Structure 1
Amino acid sequence: MTTLSLLDLVHVRQGKTPADALADALLVAQRAEQLDYRRFWVAEHHNMIGISSAATSVVIGHLAAGTSKIRVGSGGIMLPNHSPLQIAEQFGTLESLFPGRIDLGLGRAPGTDQVTARAMRRDLHAAAESFPQDVQELQRLLDEPVPNQTIIAVPGAGLKVPLWMLGSSLFGAQLAAQLGLPYAFASHFAPDALDAALANYRARFQPSKQLATPYAVPCVNVIVADTDEEARHLYTTLQQMFVGMLRGTRGLMPAPIENIENFWSPAEKAQVSHMLSCAFVGSPATVQEGLEQFVARTQADELMVSAPIFDHQKRLRSIELLAEIGPRLG
């Protein structure tokens, strides 16, 4: 059996508001908890009108307060945007409020474009260069204080909030291995280095106080419906969003369309199809077959699933159908 978890970008749908997106995210988290999903993560993005999770730690608090047992966390916090002390305090607060339920996934990218990155008033080049040191500083701030320690995160010190390393390249895999952290790979939008990164992570892994053996979690897009045809129709929402990224026209989450071939150019189709090569779309039988092959290929310890579906009820239906498939994987 493969453990299943959900990644939610808290998309704002056309005709809706960020408040609606945050309310929807909680409803999805509550249903995921009922279905025994392991985790529910949200990610830090800025200056994107279609994503409502910029204040990631606040959103995590909203989700954790409305659930009771599912782990809630970041997939991830973009550490170059923050000081380690700020994040230790924020997640120490979350862990104090919701003990044993908080995950802290860390990424190196800014989570936005360069113009917005500069508006955040951080030297992102220097911050990215110091990312390994900042991760280790964050570890120390969440560990037990040592004698004469000058800076103490309150709350945070001694709470040992579990850290995760996120990545889409060999850099994150190597750092996760060096620090003995669980590793989540962003194959839902950047699949190229997946196999090499997982192999590198497992080969170089050094046991730590947090983790004795490697723990690898690839993220994939999964859209399940009662029929292949319906699932492919729902999938056109995600395909349109990726075309929007290529065109530099990010916006609100669009409704699905009848014929995606009329929407994209052949070059856009080829590029988007490549970026979405780790997407599993179809009926339960179709998705099960694809995921079985993916789990066998990656030896995933857990699957992190993104399910960007425009219709809220059909999104809930998708995660319900996937929960039925889960016990048959692995």
Structure 2
Amino acid sequence: MPHTIALAGNPNSGKTSIFNELTGSTQYVGNWPGVTVGKKEGYLKGDKRHVVVDLPGIYSLSPYTLEEVVTRDFLLDGKPDLIINVVDATNLERNLYLTTQLVETGIPVLIALNMMDVLERNGDIIQVQVLSEALGCPIIETSAVSRAGLKDLVKTAVHMVDKAEGSGKVAKFSTPVEKALLQIEHLIATLVPPDTLRWFTIKVFEHDEKVMQRLNLSDQAAHQIATIIESVEKSMDDSAESLITNDRYEYLTGITAACHKKARKMGTLSVSDKIDRVVTNRWLALPIFFAVMWGVYFIAIQSVGDLFIGWIEWFFGDLIGAN
């Protein structure tokens, strides 16, 4: 039976282009069971031992869209051997939000850091080794357009599947949230596989109704969990889902700040920036201010304003007065 490699990523991350390059003409297209969302899969070129499934483009594993539901159901029930997470290097933090959720499923994750050619043309730098160590996942730099890095991607993916290597580092949240997650873990630990416990715990904390239905908790456990979540929400004055989202982005901001160096693009200021530089100049600011004020006075009193004043006097004095 062939091993399954899931290809996951944000829309427009280059995921489907990479899928086409990995599978070539061996792919076939259908629909996911019971829904109209397209399903594409195919064998790696020249390798019948590994089948690649192109999952729908999504931004998170929350159950808000049909694509998200299809993707997370496949990851949890289809149990792929590996996830290749295609990340748009030019939108690093936004793309890594999904990465942190994929890691929490317990499935090994290999990151294809795509569009590196575009990033380099912009003069930006990503310290790939630093990013890899922070996430606990191997990273291959790729470009679907030039096919750069795709051979290394396949080689690393096959090695990870054959060796059954583990997943990455899970995101850490604020202390009150982590304490609540630990309490919830104890209550649901016997209901889910150990490697998916972290993911299910976070989803329960976020009030994910589909997950709660899936777990089929006892009334006592459901009440205990509700009490735990309510306590955190009250003490931190925010909803559980918002707490997770904010903590996740704070975690990612720290990672990207350490590894992503953006180029200082001198001479390519926006129009707004150019105007700001002129009007806030220490020598030009006051003359510009007085010129603007004089212009306002001239327009309001001497030119357009004078016409309106004359018209108003005629309307109220002559026209209405005559009637």
- Pick the TM interval, shorter chain: under 0.3
TM-score (norm 2): 0.27
Larger-gyration structure (1/2): 2
Larger RCO (CA within 8 A; separation ≥ 6): 1
